Chains A and B, each alone.
Chain A
Amino acid sequence: MAKALVALLKQSFPSAVLETHSQHGDDTVVVDPGQWHELAAFLKSSPAADMSMLMDLTAVDFPDRDPRFEVVAHFYSLSKGHRLRMKARVGDPAGTHVHIPSICDLWASANWMEREAWDLFGVVFDGHPDLRRILLYPEFEGHPLRKDYDAHKIQPLVEYRDVPSIDKIAPFRSDEGMSFGRQTHDNVPSADAPDPEIFPDSAN
C-alpha cells in the first residue's frame, strides 16, 4: 500500500534507510536512529506522505542483539489512507545508553507514548520536554518490559509507605501462570551472588 512511499523515502534519504520489508501488508522501513527526527518530519510535511497522525510508538527489546532495542512508530495519513511502520535500532547490549531523538514537536501524541517507552523500556528520547515515568511511579526501579526484568521481581517499598515489621510478599508464587513453552524465565540464584557471610568486611 505504501510501497511508493518506501521508495520515496529510499530516494530522499538513501543513507538513512537501512532496510525495508513488507509483511502482512505492513510496509516497514528500518532507519538510522540519528536521522529519526528528519525522517519523521519529512513524513509529516511531504505532500506525498502526508502522515498526519502518529498512531503508535513503542519499543521492543531484543537482548541478544546489538543494538538492543527497536523503537517502532506507526504513521497514518488521514488524507491518503496509507500507513507506514518506521523502526530504528538503538541501544547497547547492557541497555545503559539508549538514545533516540524525540518527535514530540511534530505530533503531540508522541509526548505520552515516548514517556511510556521510557518508562517501560528505558529508551531516552532526546529533546522530550517532560520525560517522566507515566504508568509507573517515580521510585520504580528498572524498566519492566525489558526481557531481563524478571516478571516476578519485587520492587522495594517506597519510603513514605514503609511500615516497620511488615514484609512485602508477592501475592503469587513465582511460577504461577508460567507458560510451558517459554524456556527463558529461570529464577535460579547465581552462585556468583554477593555473599556477606564469606566476605564480611570487604566490599562484595
Chain B
Amino acid sequence: MPSFKLDDREIPFEPGDTIIRAAQRAGVDIPHYCWHAGLSVAANCRMCLVEIMPPPGRPALALAVLAWDEAKGAYVDQKKPKLQPACQMQVTDGLDVRNQSSAHVERARSAVQELLLLNHPVDCPICDQAGECRLQDYWLEHQATAKRMHDEPVHKPKGVVFGPTIVYDAERCIVCTRCVRFCDEVAKDPVLALRERGNLNEITVAPGRQLDHPYTLMTEFVCPVGALTAIDFRFKARVWFLRSARTVCQGCATGCNAFLDYDPRDGKVHRHRPRENQAVNKYWMCDEGMLDYHRVETGRVLRAAVDREATTVGAALDRAAKALKGIAPERLAVVLSAQHSSEDNFALLTIARDLLGCTNFFIGGKPNGQGDQVLRHPDKNPNTRGVTWLAGSSSPRSMQDLSAAATMNEFTVVLALGSETRELADAGPLGGVKERIVVTTHEGPLSRLATVLLPAASWAECDGTYVNARGLSQESEQAIGPKGDSRPAWKLLAGLAVRLGRDLGWRKLADVRGAMGAEAPPPSLPGSNRPSAGASS
C-alpha cells in the first residue's frame, strides 16, 4: 500500500484518497468545517489547510507577502508557503504533509477561525449547538485569542423558518454549504442555495419552496455550527447533560444505526441521530426515523389490564396462564411481531411450540408505507426478516388468515406479541376469540381488543437484536429504564412460562440470547454488527 508522511508519521492511503480522508482513516483528525465524508468537496472553509513540502531540491510553492517587522518598524518583503486544503488535495506516494507541525498552518487556521467568528453573535448561552459546536472546539484548539475587532458586527436574519422542521440563523452560519450539498447530492432535492456575497452571504430556500423533503433534519445534522436548528430539538435540552445509547432505528426495515440521546437525570429521550455504519445507513437517517423516538413517550401501553380493568402485571400473567393452561394446541393462535426484537419473538416461539404445542403462527406488524431509493424501506417494521427466520418451518401466516380463521371460530385463545395487524384494516373479527392475550409496547388494533394486556418495554428501554431487510442482525442498546409497569417482553413471557409450570431459567437477556444461539445459529446472516461509536464527521 502506498503511503505518505503527515507530521513525520507514515500513513498509508488508497489511490484516489484525499489527505483528510487518509488521515481520518488513520485516526488523525484534520480540522474542517465544510468537508463531510459523505458529501462532495467544497474546500471553502479553509480550515483544513496544510503545508505540503516541495520534493527534495525543488523550491517551495510560495507567495510573496509583506510582513510587519517589529525591529525595523516597517513592512518587509517575505515569502510564505502556499497552503493547500487537505480535503481537496489528493495524496501521492511519498508526499510530505505538515499539519500541526507547521507554524504557517497554525497561523492560517487561527486566522480562518478569527474570520469565521468576526461577525458571530454572542449566542452560545442560547444556542442548541453549544457543547457540540465546531466553532467552540476549534477556537480553543486553533485560535485561543481574544477579539480584535470592536466594530458592530454585520447583522443578518435570525430565526428564519425554512420549513416544518428547520429554523435558520444566518448570523451563526459560516456558509460551509454542507446543507446545500446534502440536499443536492443525497436527498436529490436541490432546495437550498446561497445568496448575496461576502459577509452578507447566507443560505436561502428556493423561491416558492419549503425545506420539506424526507431528509430535512439531516441538514441540521451536517451543520457544523448552530445555524440550522431542528424545531423538534430547539431549546429542549443542553447537549452536555445528554447521554447516548447506540440503538437501531425502529422506523423501517432499513435498520439505520442511531444514537438515542437521553437525559439520565429524568429518563427522558430527547433526540435520535444517525450513527455511522457504511453497511447500512452510511451517515444518514430520514426525518421519520429521526422523529420516531417520540414513540418512546406516545401511544404506550404502560399498565397491565384484565378485561380492560387495570391490574398488576403479576395478576395479568396469572390470568393469562389460566387461560392457556390445558388448551388444545389447535385452538391456540400465536401472533409474532415484526415490531419486536428477535429475543422477544424467540421467547414467544419457544413457549408456544415447546410448552403449548402450538402450530398456528401469524405475523403482525405495521402496514407497508412509503419507501425511496435513499434509505426508507416500504416495510415499516424493524424485524420482519428476523421473525421470518426465527419462525422457520412454522411459517407464520398473514393477519388476514387469522381474521378469517377467527370468523370461523377456530380459536379459543390468541396470544399476540405487539398490537399491529399489518394490512388487516378491520381487526373486529378477532374480538370473537374468547381470550385475547396481548403483550405489547404500544397501543394498536390488538391492544384495544385485549382481554389480558401486558405492557412491554420499548426498544429504548431494553437491549434487543433486530434483523434488517438485508439480513443484517444488529444489536440495540438500552437507553432509559423501563417506563411504567413495563418489562421486556421476553421477561413477561418467561414469567408466563413459569406460571404454565415450566421455568425456562431466563432471568437476564443473556439467558435468552444463549438459548437462541444454542438452538440455531443464523446461517444466512452476514454476522452480527456490533455497535461501534461513529463520528458525525
Contacts and interface: CB of A to CB of B under 8 A. Distances in A.
Is B a genuine binding partner of A? yes
Contacts of B313: 197-198
Interface stretch (A99-107, A130-138, A142-150, A179-187): A179-187
A194 B265 contact: no
B498 A195 contact: no
Contact of A198 (B240, B243, B317, B463): B317
B461 A191 contact: yes
A202 B503 contact: yes
A199 B498 contact: yes
Interface stretch (B106-114, B160-168, B484-492): B484-492
Contact of B507 (A175, A183, A200, A204): A204
A112 B253 CA distance: 61
Most A C-beta atoms less than 10 A away, residue of B241, B243, B507: B507
A194 B507 contact: yes
B241 A180 contact: yes
Contacts, number: 63
B498 A202 contact: yes
Interface in B463-495: 463, 478-482, 487-488, 491-492, 494-495
Nearest to A201: B498
A188 B482 CA distance: 9
A175 B264 CA distance: 9
A187 B317 CA distance: 29
A1 B498 CA distance: 68
A191 B488 contact: yes
A203 to B, nearest CB: 9
Contact of B491 (A185, A198, A200): A198
B58 interface: no
A189 interface: yes
B312 interface: yes
A191 B482 CA distance: 7
Interface in B36-95: none
A167 interface: no
Nearest to B317: A198
Contacts of B508: 192
Most B C-beta atoms less than 10 A away, residue of A181, A185, A199, A201: A199
Chain B interface size, under 10 / 10 to 19 / 20 to 34 / 35 or more = 20 to 34
B463 A191 contact: yes
B115 to A, nearest CB: 29
Interface string B487-530: 11001101100100001000111100000000000000000000
Nearest to B244: A183
B153 interface: no
A200 B264 contact: no
Contacts of B482: 189, 191
Given A180-B240, A186-B243, A198-B314, A191 B457 contact: yes
Interface string A163-176: 00000000001110
Contacts of A185: 264
Nearest to B506: A199
A138 to B, nearest CB: 32
B462 interface: yes
Given A175-B265, A197-B314, A192 B498 contact: no
B491 A195 contact: yes
Contacts of A181: 240
B480 A188 contact: yes
Nearest to A200: B314
Given A175-B265, A198-B491, A188 B479 contact: yes
B463 A187 contact: no
B267 interface: yes
Contacts of A187: 264
Interface of A: 173-175, 180-181, 183, 185-192, 194-195, 197-202, 204
Interface of B: 131, 240-241, 243, 264-265, 267, 312-314, 317, 457, 461-463, 478-482, 487-488, 491-492, 494-495, 498, 503, 507-510
7 contacts: A174-B265, A185-B264, A191-B478, A191-B491, A198-B491, A199-B507, A201-B498
Closest 6 CB pairs of A and B: A198-B495, A191-B462, A189-B481, A180-B240, A192-B508, A175-B265
